[in-house]
A and B are shown apart, each in its own frame.
Chain A
């Protein structure tokens, strides 16, 4: 259940917003790349966590030169047609989610290299809640429920399209 809270992000590490404004929604809204006419914003807190998770989830293994292990294979499996039913989708998501979650955790605990982050920027769990397929647009919508180490939760929809 989403509750409205106010969090003080003073002194936090920031990232550039990649996904459209990720305020905690009162309703489900698709997450897309920011409109280019919109000035870039900085994100922190749960928004940054969601952005990191989504970016890694949507990256295929081997796509990033010099970081071949980054990401999961969810996108590749979906776009190449290996997922034929919900069961296979859940399996593919679980595998990718496990890789991404472990990757985020490894980064979070590496305080030798990075500044320690606050618990609301560290992932606890991510669960696939639902999946919808729009055959007209060849797009699959994955509804993911993320919980941070601080207990904050966030639900967002990740669109995966062939176009």
Chain B
């Protein structure tokens, strides 16, 4: 017994010693109070993202969460303001477009990388070409045939064909230092690197836990007001909300809808909810069970009560979607045309015309487990059953669900995506076999329409052409938009922020002190 007690005591001491070895130093909270009680100037910020920062290579970023951080460290030639849609100059100060649709950019003088080197045309050539093979940004660079340095401060982007979305695409192709990337080689992205031109640079990096950004003193638009940004990775949103409410974080987004009412009622911090550039939709697969008939797919469309889904899943915090791409936030996106409103009687009528007056079994609704897609699927299953369409629900974890969606091995798939400012983004979700099986159009025909619209540089004419594209898509009844989400934010009382739907611009924030 004594031996056991001694052993337990030794283990306790060992555990305490191990814990003490992990003890950190005193930290400074963003309100200026150090954990050891002293007061400092309020110039730092504590934030979190909901996924690990797996890489700081902006060309191989693996999630939007990573981009929330990286877009404060790296910049493109231009930046698209999410609220106004305007293109704001960054590394480039101006551009021209020739008759062939090629873009020539004049680089701004005085722009430096974080290591102090000036940005040259060669860096731009290197950066844009590097994106060609990137799974993350290869789609944005797909329309570029070549990038040429005309001189030290002039770059030409040669396009494969005229492309109205090119400026939008270029905004997401970040310019990085060829020298730093070459020096770091395969390690670039995994360690601190002074390769960006943005208002902040990394000073420490432990991508699974925490990292710190420091304001770049030589930033060409002036040093940021907030000097230090401390990030944590908090994957669980409930835990993140508790951290925010207890003062460990200064700003938070993606607050669960179930908690939003409490946040709204709390006077201790600021809050805001704005439209997000994200659409949730049901992909109705013409290759799915009994869904080859367009009348059955249209019956599905008319059977869906979007507001009921929004109320049930998002506590009412969403906007019913008539179009697959939010029209108010994306260039070239149509805002008129064929729309499916909730009409269960019409749904039943279409089923009867298709020969299924007594009902039909249409396989499964595929949803990613433990996400809102699963909840949407549950409500939709009931709505479809009410008109005579019987469906099961198939829940799969993320990778397995995406695998089936990409292979078109589903009947109805619940999914969604974040749009990045242009109707052209829809191209990432086109699946030729689905079009060819639709009975309403072929992929070749649809592509030709879409390509023609993309090559129209006049915004008004392009929008009209995209309206036709959208009508073609809706007649196919393969993409059934359900709702646009809303982005919510809460932040400390004395922090001034400008909230954008997707990518926060910390440069524009400051403390009122």
Q: A and B: real partners?
A: no
**A→B interface (CB under 8 Å):** none
**B→A interface (CB under 8 Å):** none
